[in-house]
Amino acid sequence: TYRNKGEERYVAGKKILTHYGIEQAERERSILAQVDHIHVVRFLGSYFDQRTSEFCVYTGYVPGGTLASCQLLEADVKVLIRQVLDGLIFLHRQNIVQRDIKGSNLFITVDGCVKFGDLGCATVIDLTRKLLSRSATPCFMSPELLFTDHYDEKTDIWSLGMVIIELLKQRHPWARNKPARIVVMMHERDQHLPTLLRGITSESIKSILGKIFVDQGARPSALQLVNDKWFSIA
């Protein structure tokens, strides 16, 4: 985080060593530069430091921190997830798939506005084919992202379901497992997914997660999900 000289504001800076992630850095810069939405951090600029071979992406600073390690009541989760869905509807309409939705990538302002703050794994959909590359955090990844060569924007919806669980339980129940173990658990997901719901008593949450944790073809889009009756229940 940096304080902008001459102005009473802070900016967030992300440094990436180019020999590790120049393609990722360029992709994030390109996507951030083309989006302007209340639920996406504002792109302020980028800079390549030839001396250190670092690529820097600068965005607006979100002082409220992230949603990681937050344990919330259902009513609060509903408000936050509705905002995330509004952001996803916008991104998906721009043919952008976020690909790495998790609490630590969702920032919140002091007045409660949620913003996507890291689009390093995001990509633009080629409308002539499904996406073929993989880039995400294992315990939030959809089955199609893990096991098939094709996925689309609905992979974000699966990850959103995992975020709902993360917010209700303060951390993802699988977070301490090694990636290889998570792959096995996802392969046997009919057996392991029910364990994620332990301790969740709300039938409304169980219902919406039941709609999310299904095969890609049957999974609702962000626009369909935002109209779910869960969001209208007081």
- Write out pLDDT tens, residues 159-174: 999 999 999 998 888 8
SS3 41: coil
Give residue 44's pLDDT: 79
Which sequence positions are flagged as catalytic? 100
Greater confidence (23 vs 233) lies with: 233
121's CB contacts (< 8 A; 6+ apart) are 24, 98, 99, 100, 135, 136
170 DSSP assignment: S
Second-level CATH architecture of 2-60? 2-Layer Sandwich (3.30)
- Write out pLDDT tens, residues 101-154: 999 889 999 899 999 986 655 565 554 344 444 556 788 999 998 888 788 999
Q: What is the pTM of this model?
A: 0.83
Cβ atoms 91, 136 nearer than 8 A: no
Give residue 213's pLDDT: 96
SS3 106: strand
Where along the chain do the CATH 1.10.510.10 domains lie? Answer: 74-232
First-to-last C-alpha distance (Å) of the chain: 38
Which CATH number applies to 74-232: 1.10.510.10, 3.30.420.280, 2.60.40.420, 3.30.465.10?
A: 1.10.510.10
Cβ atoms 58, 12 nearer than 8 A: yes
Sheet arrangement for strand 2-3: 2-3, 10-17, 54-60, 43-49
The H or E element spanning position 43 is strand 43-49
232 DSSP assignment: G
Whether the predicted pLDDT of 157 surpasses 90: yes
95 DSSP assignment: T
What is d(CA 224, CA 206) in angstroms, rounded to the nearest whole number? Answer: 17
- Report the candidate in 90, 110, 78 with the shortest Cα–Cα distance to residue 35: 90
133 DSSP assignment: -
- Is 204 buried (19+), middle (13-18) or exposed (0-12) by CB count in 10 A? middle
